[in-house]
Amino acid sequence: MYKRGLVQVWSLEQPEWHCKIDEGSAGLVASCWSPDGRHILNTTEFHLRITVWSLCTKSVSYIKYPKACLQGITFTRDGRYMALAERRDCKDYVSIFVCSDWQLLRHFDTDTQDLTGIEWAPNGCVLAVWDTCLEYKILLYSLDGRLLSTYSAYEWSLGIKSVAWSPSSQFLAVGSYDGKVRILNHVTWKMITEFGHPAA
């Protein structure tokens, strides 16, 4: 219940168990599960912080500076790591956390004007970061924060609209406002083919 800043949780296996999380005056704009199903991540109003609530130990962790963007949180498929887009001092950053104890593993800045989204590859080895639609730029980072490659198809026009990994992590599909999907390979991060999507 966003207007009241409340999250309620029920158990299907144990009907007598239930939980209520009240964010109070901090407010609530988003809420999601962690992959292990034992934590709830609440984003407060104005994206001041993310509160991580443990349903098992009742402990609370706080993560500052989450960025208000299209896709600012992404988890690896095995649930071990979480990547979070951040905005500090008018600059974009990405922080990688260990989901078992929510400790910070890596923190690095990104070469973006206005980061719009992040997405882990299914194998958890590469993180795709893409810029605002005003600039066509997608960056590929390793787990330790190294910039592996940058791809840009064109300039001076609306850029990336959507991004999706193949299940094998070998290909990255990038949908653009020019009506085309470009497929990048995971070895050189160059385009191997493109598909048009005409309006008519």
| Averaged pLDDT, 179-198 | 94
Q: How many residues does the chain have?
A: 200
Percent of the chain at pLDDT > 90 equals: 98
| Number of other CB atoms surrounding residue 27 within 10 Å | 16
| Averaged pLDDT, 11-33 | 95
pLDDT digits (tens, 9 = 90+) for 47-101: 999 999 999 999 999 999 999 998 999 999 999 999 999 999 999 999 999 999 9
49 closest CA partner among 74, 23, 70, 75:
23
65 closest CA partner among 40, 38, 44, 36:
44
**Residue 142 pLDDT:** 95
Q: Mind listing the domains of the chain with CATH numbers?
A: 1-64 (no CATH), 65-199 (2.130.10.10)
Whether the pLDDT of residue 198 is over 80: the answer is no
| Averaged pLDDT, 146-171 | 96
Q: Residue 96, exposed/middle/buried by CB under 10 A (0-12, 13-18, 19+)?
A: buried
**Residue 169 pLDDT:** 96
Confidence (pTM):
0.91
| Averaged pLDDT, 126-138 | 96
**Residue 199 pLDDT:** 74
pLDDT-derived band at 200 (thresholds 50, 70, 90) equals confident
| Number of other CB atoms surrounding residue 66 within 10 Å | 21
Q: Which residues pair with 131 in a beta bridge?
A: none
